[in-house]
Each structure stands twice: as C-alpha cells, then as structure tokens.
Chain A
Amino acid sequence: CHDDLDQSPIDPDSFTQEDVFADASTAKGALAKLYASLALTGQEGPAGQPDIADIDEGFSQYSRMLFNLNEITTDHAVVGWGDPGLPDLHGLYWSSSNDFTEAMYSRLAQVVSFSNSFIANASELSETEVEAYIAEARFLRAFAYYNLMDMYANVPLTTVISTELPMQSNRTEIFAFVEAELLEIQDILLAGNEYGRVDQVAAWALLSKLYLNAQVWTGTDRFADCVIFSDKVMSSSYSINMNDANGNGSAYDELFLADNNTNGAQDEFIYALNFDGLQSQTYGGTTFLVHAAIGGNMDASEFGVNGGWGGLRTTKSLVNKFTVDTDALNASLGTQSDWGLVGSATPNGWDGPDAEMHETGTNQYAIYVTLVDGEFKFRFAEDWGNNYGDNDADNTIEPDGSNIAVTAGTYYITLDLDTLTYTIDLYLGDKRGMFHSDGQNLEIESIPPFEDGYAVKKFKNVDSNGNQGNDAGGDFVDTDLPLIRLAEIYLNYAEAALRGGGGDLGTAVNKINELRTRAYGDTSGNISSSDLTLDFVLDERSRELYWEGQRRTDLVRYNYFTTESYLWPFKGDEVNGLSVPDYRNIFPLPINVLSTNPNLTQNIGY
C-alpha cells in the first residue's frame, strides 16, 4: 500500500503539462491564459480562483490596477472609496506596502512567469502556428516588462522559470531587452491576426511607445525611432474609426461601447483586452470602468448596467481641457461685424453690449455663443433702430419681429441678410468630453462624496443601437478595452516630431485633425500648424486618451507628475495641489518582494 502515497490529481479541472502541451490546439488554451491574465483575474468568472493573492480578486485585474496607478494618481480621476492603499494614490503618498503597487508588480511578474513557461513548453511543439503563439507570448512578456519598467524601473529580468531568486536589472537593461524582443518578433508575428490576438503592428506600436519614453527611462532620446515606428503603424491596415454607428454626431464614443469589437472601432484597436458579460467576467476591466463611474443621480440603465458603485469622478483640470473657446472659434470665422445678438439669453442681457457676430461673407454673419435659457434678437450697432426677430418661428426674420426663444447651451448661429434667414444649431464642440455634471460639483472639496467632481460617461455597456450587453442581469460588461489604439500612435508621432525626432509636422497636424474631426463631428475643432505645441499635444492626449491608462506616464515624460509646474486638485493631498518629491515618478518595489529576494535594492526615496 506504499504506492498509494503517490496520488495524482483526480479533479476533472486539473491537467498535467503533458495534457496542456499535447498539440497546438490544446496549447492555444495556455496561450489564451497569457492574454486572459491581463484581462481577467482567475479561472472562475468573475471571482473564485484568483491568480494573485493578498488583494481582493476584483482589484487584481490588470487594467483596473493600471487605472488606479496611472489615472487616479493624476488630474484625470479621483475615487471616493476608502479601500486600503487607494486614497494614497491620488494623494501621492503611497508606501512600499501599498496594496496596488504590490499587486500590479505581482500581476506583471506573473505574466512574465506564465510566458516563460509557455515559451519553453510550446517550443517542444512542431506545428507551424505555434511559432506565432510563441511570438505572441514574447510580445506579452515584453508588454509586461514595458509596464514594469515604466512603473518600477529596476526589476529582475527573467526569461526562464526557475525557483532561484533573480538578480535585479536596471531600467536601461530592461529597455534593451524589450526593444530587442520586439525587433526580433516583428517578423515572426502574423501580418494580421484574429481579433483579440496581436500581430506585427502591435510590436511596432509598442516600439513607438517605448521610444517615446526612452529619454526618461534610459537618458537617451529615441524620438527618431519613435517617428519611424509610428509611421510604420500609421501606414498599416489599421484605421481610425469614423463610423458613427449610433448617429450621435461623433464616431469617438463607439470606441467604448459594448459592440466595439464589431462596430468599426476594432479597426483602430492594435491591442485590446476582450471582455464578455457572460463568458469573460471580472470585477475589473470595463465592468469596473462602467460601474465605478456611476453614482449620484446618474441613470445606470443608460449605461447598460444594473447600478453604480459610486466611486470614480474627475477633476476640473480634465473638464477644463474641453472648455469651448468661443472667442477663438469666432476669430476663425472672419472679421467682427456690427451685427450682434441681444436679449435675456445672451451674456449681457437686454441691455447689451451685444454679442457681436462675425462676417463670413457678404451679408453672411455667424457666431459661436453660449446662451442661457431666455430670448434674443438680432440687431445692428447696438441700436433698436435696425433689429430682426422671428414672428412665427420659421427661421425667417422680420424687422422688429418677435423674440426668439432658446434654451441654455453653446450655439452656432448664422444670419443671412440676403435671404433674411437664420440658423441656430447647438454647438457640441469636442464630443470626447463626456461628463455628467447634473448634481455634481466641478470643484472637489473632499474626496469621499460622489457629488464632488464631475462624473465621466465615457465607457458604456450598450451597443451602437442602445441595447444592453450580453449579461441580462447588468452586472458584467461586454465592452473591450483598447490598451494600444491607432489614435495614440498619431499623438506619439506628433510629439516625437515636435521633440526633434524628424518626421513631418504637416502630417502631424493632419493626423491630429483627423482625431479632432472625429471628435467634433466636423472640422470646427481643427488646428493649424501654429497650434501644435508640446503642451497642446499633452492636452490632446488627455482629451483623446483619458481614463485609458496613459496619464501618469505622459505627465512623467513632461516632468509634470511630481513638480510644481503642473498642479491639480488634491495632488499631494492638498485641495489646490502640491508638488511632491521626484522619487514618486516611479513606484516602490513592494516590501514583500524585497524581503523575499535579498538581491533587490529599493528604489531611491522609498
């Protein structure tokens, strides 16, 4: 009966290495785990068999932690919850035992371990498709190291599974590894792949991101390489989504809807995390981004979910980046005229002075103007002697006609004195600014109450037809989350070009205008080459990519993250913002990791 001591697993969910790497088709399940470990949290959805211990399983999801570490630490987001380690993030006072910095480290290191093991085991298989699998595993490992280098700078570099404690590598060595890997696999990765798996463009795109930050990470600028690889991506088959599938005036919001794997947005996604309300469930990912952002008087059903978690809002620093600058818009219309708007709806009321229109042609006038609930009329030279109203609300004007009623909003109003007609259109401007302000205060007085700070409506679990996602219960979200999309590469190109990496600034302006045309639904928001400055690109990154996990890295690159040069509400735990020491540009190595592995030295300052 001594043989009875050699028990092997009898559970039907348990498999041996031989089972999993029997052939390419079973190995694909192991490859799927590499992708899934950045999207989901374990082997049971939404929770139950976690990959990472020491933290609530829902918290341990990669993009949720990325949001915590790269968005909540910035002007883009605040969170009201008192969960351990969470308030420390926006206040920039985390310690080396912070739950999220530790769990993110564990998650990324685990992706490296999973990939190392996959690469070793899959190499034994001879089927041709396995070559691409291995290259994808190497991409994901490089992606994990890209994140580790960004957040922790100096981490161990391991490429094989071993229980031996690894030595520490510095940021430059990690950088070189990631670069070499991506360059090597760019031609092994498929030229095009099924949705959800990466192809060679992903390698170029990650190189573009890598080179953009090279100066911060290695001290050597690589903007020229950034331009080269951004250009490769821009010339690839990926395209900016211009399909306004739900017909709301912009094709931008389609990127964050439940059917963003089919509504056209997928053409822009170079690397995205796939979610499904029934078959890929997690409390992180877009389920988190949708639920956590709903609170106050927001109607959860508009977002295709059963309720909000009342946590996330944003600061005025982000909201103000979307403020419509009507003066600038008007200046671009033509010269200021004597025709103007007067009335209770206008900024100065019936007493004037009037809001002057601009001459767009002979007898053609126009104005961008922000009105309140009330009435107005057109008049000339602030004199009632020559004024027009509209007697029967038919958009035809009559001298001394009736007042024109209007509700609050920003409008584009035209006046045609040849045909004696006018138009009045609500001017939405940049439709990327998706905020909920009703019942919310723009100013944040205190972090916990949901009412302080505008809420964000960017992510939804409804499809382009307004239907809720697959989970009828409204708990889990279908919306996929792009980690790298073409729009970011456009902005990388522009920034690298501005920073002296070569390239063509004209192309940069065109590419940015492509994004702004989509954002505005028309060309009214387009910029000219004189507008293209580094600060403009940073603000444009905010507008285009907010809440997509990029912000801290961007602010660090601009040296705005810790310094006094840029402050936002509750930066450094002060209402109006406060600078913090520079060492906070990177996160500490987790205290548990340090005490496990004596080969490691803590990042300076912690």
Chain B
Amino acid sequence: KVTEASSGSGLPGVDILIKGTTIGTSTDFDGNYILENVKTGDILVVSYMGFKTQELTVNSTTINVQLVEDTESLDEVVVIGYGSVKKEDLTGSADLITSDDFNKGNVVSAQQLINGKVAGVSVTSGGGAPGEGQNIVIRGLGSLSLTSSPLIVVDGVPLNDGGVGGSRNVLNLINPNDIESMVVLKDASATSIYGSRAANGVIMITTKKGKDTEFKFNVNSSTTLYTAIDEVDVMNADQFSNLIEQTGDADAIARLGNADTNWQDQIYVGAIGTDHSISALGNAWGVPMRASVGHSDHEGTLKGDEFKRTTASLNLSPSFLDDHLKIELNARGMYTENKFANRDAIGNAASFDPTQSVYDENSIFAGYYAWTGTNGYQLNLAPTNPVAQLALNQDTAEVRRLVGNAKVDYKLHFFPDVTATVNVGLDKSNSHGRNITSEFMPTSDTSWNGSRTAFTQEATNKLFDAYVTYNKTFNEDHSLNFVVGHSYQSFEFDNYSYDSEDEEDGNTYEFIDKSKNVLLSYFGRLNYDYKGKYLATATLRADASSKLNPDDRWGYFSSYALAWNIHKEDFMEDGIFNELKLRVGYGEVGNVNGLADYKFLTSYLASQSTANYQFGNSFYQTYRPEPLNEELKWEVGRTFNVGIDYGLLDRRITGSVNVYLKETQDLIASSFVDPFTNFGNRIEKNIGDMENRGIEFVINTTPVKTDDFEWNVNYNISFNDNEVTKLPFDQAVGGISGGVGNNVQVHTEGEAPYSFLVYEQVYDATGSPIEGVFVDRNGDDIINDNDRYINNNPYADVLMGLNTNFRYKNFDLAIVTRASLGNYAYDNVASSTSYLRRATENSILTNLHTDQFNSGFVNSTENSLLSDYYISEASFFKIDNITLGYNLPNVFKDTALRVYGSMQNVATITDYKGLDPEIDGGIDNNFYPRPRSIVFGVNIDF
C-alpha cells in the first residue's frame, strides 16, 4: 500500500516500476497495489506527481511506502514551445497556473480561470453576456493595429488569431474542466521559439491526459443564477415629464404619455445557467485514455440571450516499443448554439421615453408602441421600442469546432539521446448563423416585409511540426538539450453570406469571401545547464509569411537567456532560501498577426451590385485598384527582462520579481499616405515604435499550515508604462457615438496609445461646466481641433490581484479580488444622451441621462462631445469571486464528494459614475452590464 506520509490515507494512481525494466503497475483507489514477478533485490521506483520519488529494495512480499509531499515542488514541469522543462531549469519568465489554482465559480471560458492570478496579465470581458469574449493583454499593448492578444496554444496546436464567426469567444472551444494547466509565457526569451506568432506573449494550455490506472470518473454539475445589478442612470417618468413640461413647447408636451415605464427593467431579466460534465480516466485496453463530455446552457440577463455548448474530448496516449515510441492523440470537439439578443436594445432602453407604455393596441407593429408619423410608420430618427427589438429579432448561430492533433515521439533505438517528434494538428471550425427580423418590427420603411440574413463560415488551420530533440548529460555536470525543427501552418477562411433584402431589390444577394495564408518556420533551441546552477538558453526562429512580399518575407528572431540558481551555491547552503534564481533574458519576436492578406499585391476589387454605375441604360460592375504597400515587413518586438524567483521558509513564501523593457519597432499601422502616390489615403505600413516598461512582483505565502487549517495568500502587483515612442503623425482612434465620425482617442508620439484627445471645459464659479466654452489652449481666438489636448488614457498604471484560500478540515473558502489603478474612461453614455435638446428633437421625445441635471447642456456639438468633462478616473477594486466548498472524501466507498457555492462579481469599489469602470478600451457606451452570479455546484470523484 502507498500512503501519504502526513495523513496516512491511501494514494491512488501511484506509479511503481522495477528499476531498469518496463515492468510496473500503479495503485488502486485505496493506494493498494500488486506487482508480480518481482525478485528479491529488485529496486522499486515509486513516483507520484507532487511527491518525492522513493526507491526501495525488495526484501519482503508486502512493501508499504509512505510518500512525502515534495514541498519544494521544483520538479514541476512547465510546458514551453516544442518541449517542456522543469521549472527549476527555466530561464525565461513563465507563470504556471495549475487546475488547483484556477478561479472557481462561474467559469464559462478558459480565460476566466487565470483572471487576477498572473502579474502583468489583464483579462477584460467585453460585457456581461454568457460566454462573452475576453480580451487578454500581457504586459501592455504591443501593437497599434495588429492583434494584441497572446498566442494560444492548446496541446501544441497554436490556434487561429481571428475570431470564429457566430462565436463570442475563441476559447469557448474548451470546457474549463478539461484544462490541466495554463502557462503564461511573458518575455521574449521564453516566447521567441514561437517567433512571429508570439509578439503578445503565449498562453500554453495543457489539457488533462489519460493515465495508466484503473478507471476513475469525475462528475461536475452546477447551476448559476444571474441577476442584473446595475442600469444606466436615466430619468424616470416623473423627472422626464417635469423636464418636458418646463422646457418643451406645446407640441412636445402634447407628446408626453401617461405611463411610467422603466425600459431597462423591461429588457433585463434574471437568468439561469447550468453546467454538467463527466470525465473518465484510466487504462482502456492497454491504452491510457481520458474522455470527457460537458454541457453548458447559460441564459443572458439581456432577455433572449443564450449560450449553449456541448464539448467532448478524448485523449489517448499509448506507447510502444518499450516506450521508445509514444503517441499522443487529442481530439476536442465543440458544438455551441448561440442566441444573440439584439444589443441595440441596450441603448434604446436608455433612450426611450419613460412616459410611454411598452404596448399600444393601435400599433401596426404587433402591438408594440412606436413613434409614428402620419402614415402610421415609425419616424426614421426615432429609437425603436427595445422590447420589440428583443422580441421580434432572432439572431442565432451554431458553431462546430474540432481541434485535434496527433503527436508521435520516437526515441531512437540506436541513439536514445535523440527523440524525433512529429506533430500534426487540425483546427477546423464551421459556423452557421442567421438573423431574422420580423415583418412586425417597427420601421419607417413602408414596404418592409421582414428580413433574413444568413452566413456560414469555415476556418481551417493546419499544422505540421517536425523536430528533433537531443538530450544528454556529460560528466554528470553538463546537461545539454537541443531542439531543431520545422513548422508549417496554413490558415484558410471561406465565408458565405446571404441577404434577403438584396434579393428582393434584385441585387446580388449571396456573397463569398475567401482567403488563405501560410506561415513557414524553422526553429532551434539550445539549453545548457552546468550543475543545475548555471543555465543558458538560446533560441532562433526563422519565419516566413505569405502576407509579406517575397523580399521581406523572412524574419529571424533570436533570444538569449541566462539564469543562476543562487540557492545551490555552497555559500547559500544554510540560508533560508529554498530557491533563489536570478534570470536575465533578451529576445525578439515578430508580428504580422491580424494583418490582412495580399496587402503587397496589386489587385482590383469588383463592386457589388449595389455599387455599380450607370452608363446609358446599363449598370456596370466597377473595378477598383486597391491600396498596396510592397514594402511591408515584420513588426519586431524586443524584450529585455531581469527576474528573480524566490522561495523561502520551506517554500511557505515564494514568488518572483520581474523588470522588463519591451520595445516594438516598425509597428505596422494603418497610416496616412499621400493619396497622389497610392490608390487610397491609407495603407498598412511599418511606421512607428512603441515601448512598454514594467515591474511585476508576486508573493505567495502560506501563513498557516496545519493538518486541519491552511491559509494561503497570493498577491501580485504590476506596473506598466506604455508609450508610443515614434509615430510620424497622429492617428485618430476611438470612435464614439454622438454625431458621425467623432474620435476621442489618439495615437501620438510621447503618449500612451489610445490616449484621450479632448477640449478643456471651462467651469463657472459654482463648478458647473459652461456650455460651449472651452479653453483656447493655443491662444488663436478660435476654438478648433488645434485646441484639443491629451487627457490620460484607458490603461491602468497598476494592476493588482489578491487571492486568499482557507481550508479548515473539510471546508474551503477562496476569495479572489483585483484592483486596477490609474485607468480612465470616457463616459459616452452621458456625453451623447444628456443634452436637453435631445429630449424633444426629431418630433419625438427621447429620454435623457441624468447628467443633464449636472451639466445642463442644451445642445450637442463636436466640442461638447469631446469635452474633458466626460473623462474620469475609473480605478477600481473588485471582489470577483467568493467560493465556499465542503469536501466529503469518503461519502461512499471510493467516492469523494465536494459541494460548493460561489458568488461572482461580488462588489466593485470605484469613484467612476458610469455603469462599470472596467471598460475594455476606455469608451463607455451601451455596455452590457456584467451580472452578479451565484453558483451552486457538486463535484463527485469515483
């Protein structure tokens, strides 16, 4: 029997092997094992993940083993590109988060597992919809126009950068329960083995694998209750009718209704979500395997929103030829059904006159109230009844996605130091979606008879990797690990769409959009280790992308890193440090991710049938030469990183410190070009430089650790300063609503990207803004564009995560909190919906944001929209999650049960006046409020 030394309980799945042979077995659920054909004097090797391996000489028929937990945990293996290393031997900056550390509670997509857990990584959801996309940024923005999301690698298969049509989130592919660990590679010395794909860091996801044990099962089931907790501050019916009676003319007053409708209450509802999954793991017919099936069904708080997902995964890891040939097969399939509630209802609910009823029996629009003109149809500048928008529109999509790979490792028989690996992967998704609008939807179009659009999208990403690994230790002290290989990836997209209204108009109604690009790479990595004290790594990757012109197609990216395990030095032997490692690294990565294809070729785009031109009595399809840049080349990022990893007091305190400088050069940005020299006024061009500087600090402590009570506290803090260091001319970005074509942000030299560019509001003696009066900052007596100035930016200067776990006997409690300091937001809801004239313009009534009571603004002008009055600090502290669990280790024989309850989005502390200070991109408008959710779940192992 094998037991855990501290508790005495049996350990299942422990590997026992006769040294020097392949004969072995593993323990059953109670920790018992039987191994036949054992001779006295044989040496048994007993090993189990997380415990110190023991070797015992056979001297009796019953051998009980007590395994001691390996508190040093330095044997933790970290998956890096094209291989893995022991954490101790790592020379770059990589954070490993295993399933034990994952966020619990309502986790629908994989990104949520690590939110707040890793220094320098920010995860921001786009809104409160179930399965919503999560934007991950590692160490600040690295690009202006290209993708700034990290590369995601699932079991060695790098995923597509692009989104998947009909899906809210790329990572909805994976059931979070299937994930074993996630590794965040942050600095270029760690990522540059992925060369051009790794410019924004890499997240390596390793899924749970089959084990060579008796079959075990895990069942997980949870229910989530969602409640909408916040709404935009608009006027209520009383406030609004008072305002109209005081300020409106007779026509306006006559339009007031008698109802008292809170339109936002009408569109948000309480919602329910359920998750169920089951997994099986064990040896099936001699092959270690794991299989899982999961099903989730979550409604959104916006009425009609729904996310349904079924996932299945299978892992087989057989080995042959005395373990010389190892095969790993992973297949993971997902089927999601999405219902997208019409998000236009969010803005319209805030705008709709609260004195009108939802229904109107005289309405020709299925009885929904609408602002109509004399012909009974809706006035064309009137907002549409948001309740009708949700009820009369169906936007649904199904996505099927398969990610699979087959990896074959062959350790050469005649030269076992060399392993040859081939990894073939496929990532294929297929989406079908449609948007059907009822003939009863309120409209100004008197010929309206409903509409239907549909699309299908197929994305195929093929991977072929082949590499050779040479692993050898010379004279016990010199270890060498050398990898050299080749990678080929192709990305194909094939989209089709249909539009019923185009068909009715006699126009082309089916559209096809296709593209393909290829990435070809060679890579090599050398790790050298002297006595485990001195480590060196060098990598080189050569990438060629079909997106770039043949002359500039190849990019060469190298990295170098040194590490010193100081604690292994003799002079440290008696110190308190279990680990003290100094790391220095420099690396380069490239980027063309997100760049459109064929931008260097002269091509002509044909017009669609709605943009043909008439000569005589015929309409001609036109051909437009497309803007091009023959000189596009790689965007190159260079990172310099110095770090210290530490562990002390028997690893009761561990952590790391990193300081980095990341420069991105030849940034590709859509840049103004003299229109006399090209076929447009903008081309993609390598134009600027950007810099991120930062410090990250992590400390994990276990202040109390007894058999009954354990308390862990993990804290991380990161500072990042992002600055555009070179940009020949400013780029207006950050489009807002209110007027057409207003931008509130700018990329400009010397400032952070997406800095706010605004007019300086003038205030009266009482501190109220004076409408239309701004500071003439350049003193030319004219207020125009030249008077705008930079006022902060949406990115936090400081991000913090503070997590704590308590375990008392069978209870556990986890609290996850996060803070963001120094991020600013532009309140576009207030700026575009609070001016007085809006209430009565266009011959209708429109509700106002209550900021009208503060600003008193009458008109909306470009200058007032772009006033710094609407910029405010949006720092926040959030309690993301509190989870309380109770474990019953032996509820039945061989059965462990855990029940838990969890609350998500518990509290937000902020001075920001808008709905939610956590706004990706810093422009707060029509935000889908993040609901509060409460989860009850049960987890059974048997």
Which residues on A are within 8 Å of B, measured CB to CB?
Answer: 1-2, 4-17, 19-20, 26, 28-30, 32-33, 35-37, 39-40, 42-46, 48-49, 51-56, 58-59, 81-88, 93-95, 97-99, 105-106, 109-110, 112-114, 117, 156, 158, 161-166, 194-197, 261, 274, 276, 278-282, 295-297, 299-301, 306-310, 446, 448-450, 471-475, 591-593, 595-597
Contact = CB atoms under 8 A, between A and B. Distances in A.
B677 A39 contact: no
A106 B606 CA distance: 21
A451 to B, nearest CB: 10
Contacts of A4: 488, 490, 518, 520, 546
B459 to A, nearest CB: 14
A113 B675 contact: yes
A98 B681 CA distance: 15
B604 A16 contact: yes
Contacts of B95: none
A40 B613 contact: yes
A95 B606 CA distance: 36
Nearest to B859: A448
B553 interface: yes
B69 interface: no
B571 interface: no
B258 interface: no
Interface centre among A5, A42, A46, A295 (most CB of B within 10 A): A5
B676 A112 contact: yes
Choose among B444, B606, B673 the residue with the greatest number of A CB atoms under 10 Å from its CB. Answer: B606
A7 B518 contact: yes
Most A C-beta atoms less than 10 A away, residue of B518, B616, B675: B675
B605 interface: yes
A20 B624 CA distance: 10
Interface of B: 373-375, 377, 379-381, 444-448, 488, 490, 501, 505-507, 512-518, 520, 544-546, 550, 553, 597-598, 601-617, 619-625, 630, 670, 672-682, 728-729, 732, 738-743, 782, 784-786, 837, 841-843, 859-862, 864-866
B676 A86 contact: no
Given A55-B741, A197-B615, 5 more contacts: A40-B611, A45-B611, A84-B739, A87-B862, A97-B786
Given A1-B520, A4-B520, A53 B670 contact: yes
B862 A56 contact: no
A51 B623 contact: no
Which of B444, B677, B743 has the most chain A CB atoms inside 10 A of its CB?
B677
Contacts of B624: 33, 37, 42-43, 51, 114
A36 B611 contact: yes
A28 B676 CA distance: 23
A195 B379 contact: no
B786 A95 contact: yes
A307 B370 CA distance: 15
A29 B447 contact: no
Nearest to B502: A278
A473 B446 CA distance: 6
B518 A9 contact: no
Contacts of B605: 13-15, 43, 49
B520 A2 contact: yes
Given A4-B546, A53-B682, A81-B739, A10 B515 contact: yes
A48 to B, nearest CB: 8
A194 B616 contact: yes
A306 B611 contact: no
Nearest to A593: B674
Contacts of B598: 7-9, 14
A2 B373 CA distance: 64
Contact of B620 (A28, A306, A472): A28
B615 A194 contact: yes
Given A13-B605, A33-B623, A165-B674, A473 B610 contact: no
A465 B722 CA distance: 64
A83 B546 contact: no
A32 B622 contact: yes
Contacts of B682: 53-54
B604 A30 contact: yes
B505 to A, nearest CB: 5
B664 to A, nearest CB: 21
Contacts of A281: 610-611
B256 to A, nearest CB: 19
Nearest to A17: B602
Contacts of B782: 93, 95
Contacts of B865: 82
Contacts of A301: 375, 446
A174 to B, nearest CB: 12
B611 A32 contact: no
B676 A85 contact: no
Contact of A475 (B445, B506, B615, B630): B445
Nearest to B607: A43
B506 A278 contact: yes
Contact of A43 (B505, B506, B611, B620): B611
Contact of A195 (B505, B517, B604, B615): B615
The 9 closest A-B pairs by CB, nearest first: A307-B380, A45-B610, A194-B616, A109-B675, A472-B447, A33-B622, A45-B611, A106-B681, A53-B682
A11 B374 contact: no
Nearest to A591: B729
Given A16-B603, A32-B615, A472-B447, A56 B741 contact: yes
6 contacts: A82-B862, A105-B675, A114-B625, A195-B617, A301-B375, A593-B672
Contact of A596 (B603, B607, B729, B866): B729
Contacts of A14: 598, 603-606
A35 B623 CA distance: 11
Most buried by A among B374, B446, B605: B605
A594 B866 CA distance: 25
B615 A279 contact: no
B553 A307 contact: no
A52 B741 CA distance: 13
B739 A15 contact: no
B514 A10 contact: yes
A84 B514 contact: no
Contacts of B623: 15, 20, 26, 29-30, 33
Given A7-B597, A12-B514, A16-B602, A58 B862 contact: no
A274 B681 contact: no
A310 B445 contact: no
A471 B516 CA distance: 37
Contact of A448 (B512, B615, B732, B837): B837
B603 A84 contact: no
A59 B740 CA distance: 9
A450 B381 CA distance: 13
Contact of B546 (A5, A43, A87, A306): A5
Given A16-B604, A306-B446, A110 B520 contact: no
